[in-house]
Chains A and B, each alone.
Chain A
Amino acid sequence: MNLIGTARRDAAWMGRVNALIRYGVLIGVGLIMLYPLFWMVAASFKPNHEIFGSVNLWPKDPTLDGVVKGWRTGTEYSFATYLLNSFMFIIPKVVLTVVSSVLVAYGFARFRMPGKQLWFALMVATILLPKSVLLIPQYLMFRELGWLDTYLPLYIPCAFATDGFFVFMVVQFLRGIPPDMEEAAVIDGCNSLQVLWHVVVPVIMPAIISIALFQFMWSLNDFLYPLIYLSSVGKYPVALALKMAIDVTEATAWNQVLAMSTIALLPSLIVFFLAQRYFVEGITSGSVKG
């Protein structure tokens, strides 16, 4: 009895030590991963000289100087302009991506057409195509169209379901859903587009939200395409504005850059947390159900 009691106590103690080590390691690694982020947020509220002068995370002289000056930027436009510019192409891009990807995926998942396998394979192959391969031909094409220094090259391609990954994701999602509902809708008198709108879209909403979120975040972070196609500073999005803040002045005001970086993070964070539930569900159901 006593022996069993001791053994049990030992086991419980071992369990607690185990958990302590496990969580200790996890928290430690987590902190290391998040440290740059914390550092960035903290540095936004530090005077410029303190950023590299002290290892302390907490500012000694907290100041909003970086935020205020950073917002004004060194250019003739405020940071609000750049944020707005980002949304000028991100919103149409997200909308067009969702509409075109869902339409194309619905076609692949539900319709019989000659050579479907081949088309699908080609579509998947475009996912593997390195983006840089397309840069020059695309640039030349858009130049011919007279679209340089506009937002059109940034979002018009998305109207043609060029993001193969999203199409693939929705196709996989649709494959996991039995077609009975859609057939019931056909009997109820729907044409193909009505079936899509009234039945398929509500059912695949998690996948749609995932697409919108991915596209939103990737586009907000996109640096290369705006850099290539936009030349007027007044049209720059956030990513370019941040870069500009670094090299337009000789002595970079790091607190301003970091404060603006922190602000640039906010839209993604807000959108992510608003849709987190659907987002996670969308990724898993899209990938697992196929």
Chain B
Amino acid sequence: MAKGRVQLHGVMKSFGAVDVIKGVDLEIAPGELTVFVGPSGCGKSTLLRLVSGLELPTGGSIMIGDRDVTLVHPSERGIAMVFQSYALYPHMSVAENMGFGLKIAGLPKNLIKEKVARAAEILQLTPLLDRKPRALSGGQRQRVAIGRCIVREPEVFLFDEPLSNLDAALRGQMRVEIARLHAKLGATMIYVTHDQVEAMTLATRIVVLNAGRVEQIGAPIELYRHPANLFVAGFIGSPRMNFMDGLVDGAEADSVSVRLNGATLRLPRHNADVRPGAKVTVGIRPEHFRVGPGVDAGDDQAVEFDSVIDLVERLGGETLAHLRMPSLSDGVLVVKMSGDIALRIGTGLRVGVRLAQCHLFDAQGRAVGEPGSRAAVAA
């Protein structure tokens, strides 16, 4: 049974001379909540609109379930879509908004009423059914927009940045509601966002897009732990990963030695295809640094750096320190520490990191080799 499965084969889209989607292959399993994430203009919304049928691809094919829907009208694809602006019909009541698709499909009135009532029940909209959209709050409007989808019982739900018009508190609340809804309905959902917290918390799988191409597809934690390239490494995780330039010193079967910042790091890597002297980038997540004198002294699985504190951001629950290293000319290193830590700007700080938690990318930005031990990285 392939109901709810979405497959994209070599999907391309150009607007005039501009290629927005440059060949995307993707398979979404039934019941998955897949999040398309990427910077502005990466083509994530366009890709969603291609799935919805609001745009037609210039190449490739799209399957929903067992059907090729590449050229099928949006209403016949078995999809429903929630728009960023809610896109409710201002002159219709909540009930009319939710039942409009069914009315156009020619369903009998009592059946429409029944389905609307059921969807309203799920979304706690029952007391609001007679109101007009302008009399609703942002969160309520968004729920109506979701209700309009539920009523149609689609194979696939499409969400186009549904929470970006809401304030932070409401966004958190709606995020939980969408996760709950997904658990309850078990339907396939495709969700577009530029907010990586939404992506990480909601997704079964994340598709990271950049400049019209898929950079990596994987479970959120998979992307966090093993980014396939520099782009994904920099995009997933907040604050973003620190990058430092190094040179390969030598490569062995299970490790790569990298000269960095005056020290030689022996990073555990299997099947690394690098030559000595090649330029590489070492990536370290801000939260993987450990702070304090001698935290990793004497541990050959770790490395330590001396630095000077440039700026401190105290967030209460965590502290971000921006560090400058005497030997690191380019930019600043960000270190994330849990708890509220009083640090003085201009003073020295010794930070350490376990080698297993260092990421390594070659000159083309691809991750080098396979991580030495997954258990070590996860630690």
Interface residues of A, Cβ cutoff 8 Å to B: 178, 180-181, 183-190, 194, 198-199, 202-203
Contact = CB atoms under 8 A, between A and B. Distances in A.
A35 to B, nearest CB: 43
Interface stretch (B86-94, B208-216, B254-262): B86-94
Given A189-B101, A198-B100, A184 B75 contact: no
Contacts of A180: 83-87
Given A187-B79, A188-B75, A181 B87 contact: yes
B52 interface: yes
B234 interface: no
Given A187-B54, A189-B105, A194-B104, A178 B85 contact: yes
Contacts of A203: 90-91
Nearest to A195: B104
Contacts of B80: 187
B87 A188 contact: no
B228 interface: no
Given A198-B100, A203-B91, A187 B85 contact: no
A199 B89 contact: yes
Interface residues of B, number: 24
A117 to B, nearest CB: 14
A272 B53 CA distance: 44
Interface centre among A187, A190, A198 (most CB of B within 10 A): A187
Nearest to B105: A189
Nearest to A178: B85
Contacts of B89: 181, 184-185, 198-199, 202
B23 interface: no
Contacts of B152: 188
12 contacts: A183-B81, A184-B83, A184-B88, A185-B100, A186-B73, A187-B53, A187-B54, A188-B75, A188-B104, A190-B104, A198-B100, A203-B91
Contacts of B83: 180, 183-184
Contacts of B87: 178, 180-181, 183-184
B74 interface: yes
B54 A183 contact: yes
A186 B85 contact: no
Nearest to B79: A187
B77 to A, nearest CB: 9
Interface centre among B53, B74, B148 (most CB of A within 10 A): B74
A190 B74 CA distance: 10
Given A178-B85, A194-B104, A198-B100, A187 B91 contact: no
Q: Which 3 A-B pairs have the closest CB atoms?
A: A189-B75, A188-B101, A180-B87
Interface of B: 52-54, 73-75, 79-81, 83-91, 100-101, 104-105, 148, 152
A185 B52 CA distance: 13
A187 B52 contact: yes
A155 to B, nearest CB: 29
Contacts of A202: 89-91
B54 A186 contact: yes
A248 to B, nearest CB: 51
A186 B100 contact: no
Contacts of B53: 187
Contacts of A194: 104
A205 to B, nearest CB: 8
A198 B91 CA distance: 10
Interface centre among A178, A180, A199, A202 (most CB of B within 10 A): A180
A199 B96 CA distance: 12
Nearest to A199: B89
Contact of A187 (B75, B88, B90): B75
Nearest to A202: B91
A189 to B, nearest CB: 4
Nearest to B106: A189
A189 B104 CA distance: 6
A188 B75 CA distance: 6
Given A181-B90, A188-B101, A189-B101, 7 more contacts: A180-B87, A183-B81, A184-B87, A187-B75, A187-B79, A188-B75, A198-B89
Contacts of B73: 186
A181 B87 CA distance: 4
B82 to A, nearest CB: 9
A239 to B, nearest CB: 37
B81 A184 contact: yes
Given A178-B85, A180-B83, A194-B104, A186 B91 contact: no
A190 B104 CA distance: 7
B80 to A, nearest CB: 7
B74 A187 contact: yes
Given A180-B85, A198-B100, A186 B90 contact: no
A181 B152 CA distance: 17
B90 A188 contact: no
A180 B79 CA distance: 16
A12 to B, nearest CB: 42
B108 to A, nearest CB: 16
Interface centre among A178, A180, A183, A188 (most CB of B within 10 A): A188
Contacts of B105: 189
Nearest to A186: B74
Contacts of B104: 188-190, 194, 198
A196 B105 CA distance: 17
Nearest to A187: B74
A187 B100 contact: no
A193 to B, nearest CB: 12
Contacts of A188: 75, 100-101, 104, 148, 152
